[in-house]
């Protein structure tokens, strides 16, 4: 290894020194490389084992690696969904002293996949639409904090399952810029047009390779990001006027934003000169309303839609058994009696399939289908056994599993008694809205 090797790292893992930095990335040995699906990139990117986890390594220039590393760190501080920067390696050289390209190292985002890996054979229209909708939410979040991406695309995004939807994470910040004064409408529209063109190109490429289902229109789906983005942006930042007698609309606006998964840190309220009209406008909007409530009550860190689903189950449990008790106390009991027994019951060899919150969401869904099929209430333990054998066991792994499984036994489930457990009821008017009824 060259004596001039320079490592700038946010990690404290000395295993970084053990990777073969004296070799070009394309020549790294197979025992170092982790075989994971990756998206299309203008740079050479490979996954490597590092201690007990996996990192993504991208060859680039020293200046671009350092700049992207700092940009990703800034986005992390602003709590934007993105990959975690780990290190920048510069001053690399081979055994003959010839210079090698610098690299940016990021942690692999567990349970995430590039868009091309989210479908096994052909991409269906509804899946493509959900991916574009997730990207629209991410783009809005970036623009709210004043970040101009400059290369918005499905390829520069990772996706994680989020209770029937997807959550999008920024992967490539190479072209991004943070503007302290916020973005102009022109900058936002420019980013949006880049997104529309890139998405259309990516979907047309899949279509040319015969990897999209009949009925999928790449141009129509790529145009969909415009409507999804503008609708959400207007709801989050738009002003609203109404008469003094309709002051209830203030609370309605806040509730609507909470349902979208956003919190209002500040709300500007003004009256006109006559004092008969109110005008309101959100000033600072933070995403993750349900995530923060779930984390506060239970300590569970989940996606926004997953958090909404788990909170529905928690609220239903409280209404059925502990209506008058303290919310935090009930949340602890629900965690101990309902959620954690489900997680523990998943065999080790299946735990790389989906993250725990997604497993719980899908279990509730599966239980409802069983109840509909058999015309009776299904105990949680019975639904879990069915879900593990009929659904989860047949899914492919979506996490990086290192090392052999150490246990294969399904733990007993000390959950709620069969005659009192909650049964999810599907609302036929909204396929994404699931309520829990005792």
pLDDT tens-digit series, residues 151-184: 999 999 999 888 778 889 999 999 999 998 899 9
Q: What is the CATH number of the domain that holds 35?
A: 3.30.200
Are residue 353 and residue 369 in the same domain, yes or no? Answer: yes
Domain boundary among 183, 216, 237: 237
Rounded to whole angstroms, how far apart are CA atoms 363 and 174?
Answer: 39
CB neighbour class for 325 (10 Å; exposed up to 12, middle 13-18, buried from 19)? exposed
DSSP state of 393: G
H/E run at residue 178: strand 177-178
253 against 64, higher pLDDT: 64
Lowest-pLDDT range, 22-31, 274-283, 339-348? 274-283
Does one domain contain both 412 and 428? yes
Q: Are 234 and 224 in contact (CB under 8 A)?
A: no
Q: Which residue, 79, 109, 139, sits at the end of a domain? A: 109
- % residues pLDDT > 90 (the chain): 39
233 and 255 part of one domain: no
Comparing CA positions, the residue from 252, 284, 257, 256 lying closest to residue 268 is 284
pLDDT band at 120 (very low <50, low <70, confident <90, very high): low
Are 12 and 82 found together in one domain?
A: yes
Structural domain harbouring 137? 113-237
Determine contact, residues 149/176, Cβ cutoff 8 Å: yes
Q: What pLDDT, on a 0 to 100 scale, did the predictor assign at position 266?
A: 66
What are the start-end ranges of the H helices in 209-271? 218-237, 248-259
What CATH code is carried by the domain that includes residue 210?
Answer: 1.10.510.10
CB 213 within 8 A of CB 120: no
Structurally, the chain folds into a number of domains equal to 4
Span 123-155, pLDDT tens digits: 888 889 999 999 999 999 999 999 999 999 999
Angle of CA points 53, 57, 59, to nearest 5° = 170
CA distance 24 to 93: 9
pTM for this model (two decimals)? 0.73
pLDDT at 302 over 90: no
Could you tell me if residue 275 is inside a domain? yes
CA distance to 94, 179, 254, 266, 286, per residue, from 269 (Å): 63, 26, 13, 10, 19
Average pLDDT, the chain: 82
Instruction: Choose one of 48, 77, 109: the last residue of a domain.
Output: 109
pLDDT of residue 406: 32
Question: Are 172 and 142 members of one domain?
Answer: yes
Percentages (nearest 5) of helix, strand, coil residues in the chain = 45, 20, 35
In a domain, 306, yes or no: no
Same-domain pairing of 218 and 255: no
């Amino acid at each position: 290894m060259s004596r001039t090797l320079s490592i700038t790292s946010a990690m404290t893992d000395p295993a970084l020194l053990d990777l073969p930095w004296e070799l070009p990335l394309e020549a790294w040995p197979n025992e170092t490389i982790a075989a994971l699906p990756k998206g299309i990139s203008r740079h050479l990117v490979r996954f490597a084992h590092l201690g007990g986890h996996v990192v993504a390594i991208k060859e680039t220039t020293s200046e671009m690696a350092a700049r992207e590393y700092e940009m990703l760190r800034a986005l992390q501080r602003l709590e934007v969904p993105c990959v975690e920067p780990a290190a920048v390696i510069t001053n690399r050289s081979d055994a003959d002293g010839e210079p090698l390209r610098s690299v940016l190292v990021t942690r692999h985002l567990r349970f995430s996949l590039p868009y091309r890996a989210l479908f096994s054979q052909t991409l269906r229209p509804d899946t493509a639409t959900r991916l574009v909708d997730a990207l629209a939410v991410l783009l809005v979040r970036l623009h709210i904090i004043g970040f101009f991406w400059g290369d918005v695309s499905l390829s520069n995004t990772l996706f994680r399952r989020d209770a029937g939807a997807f959550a999008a994470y920024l992967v490539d910040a190479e072209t991004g810029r943070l503007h302290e004064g916020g973005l102009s409408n022109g900058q936002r529209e420019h980013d949006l047009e880049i997104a529309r063109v890139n998405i259309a190109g990516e979907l047309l490429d899949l279509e040319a390779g015969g990897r999209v289902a009949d009925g999928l229109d790449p141009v129509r789906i790529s145009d969909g990001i415009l409507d999804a983005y503008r609708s959400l942006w207007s709801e989050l930042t738009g002003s609203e006027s109404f008469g003094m007698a309709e002051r209830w609309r203030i609370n309605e606006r806040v509730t609507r934003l909470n349902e979208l998964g956003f919190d209002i840190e500040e709300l500007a309220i003004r009256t006109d000169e006559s004092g008969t009209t109110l005008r309101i406008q959100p000033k600072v909007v933070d995403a993750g309303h349900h995530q923060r409530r779930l984390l506060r009550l239970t300590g569970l860190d989940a996606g926004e839609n997953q958090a909404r689903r788990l909170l529905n189950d928690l609220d239903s449990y409280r209404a059925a058994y502990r209506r008058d008790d303290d919310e935090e106390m009930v949340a602890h009991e629900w965690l101990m009696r309902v959620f954690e027994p489900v997680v523990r019951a998943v065999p080790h060899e299946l735990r790389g399939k989906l993250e725990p919150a997604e497993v719980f969401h899908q279990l509730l869904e599966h239980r409802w289908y069983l109840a509909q099929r058999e015309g009776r209430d299904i105990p949680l333990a019975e639904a879990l056994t069915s879900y593990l054998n009929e659904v989860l066991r047949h899914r492919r792994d979506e996490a990086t599993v290192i090392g052999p499984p150490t246990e294969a036994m399904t733990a007993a489930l000390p959950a709620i008694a069969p005659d009192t457990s909650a049964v999810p009821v599907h609302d036929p008017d909204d396929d994404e809205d699931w309520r829990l009824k005792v």
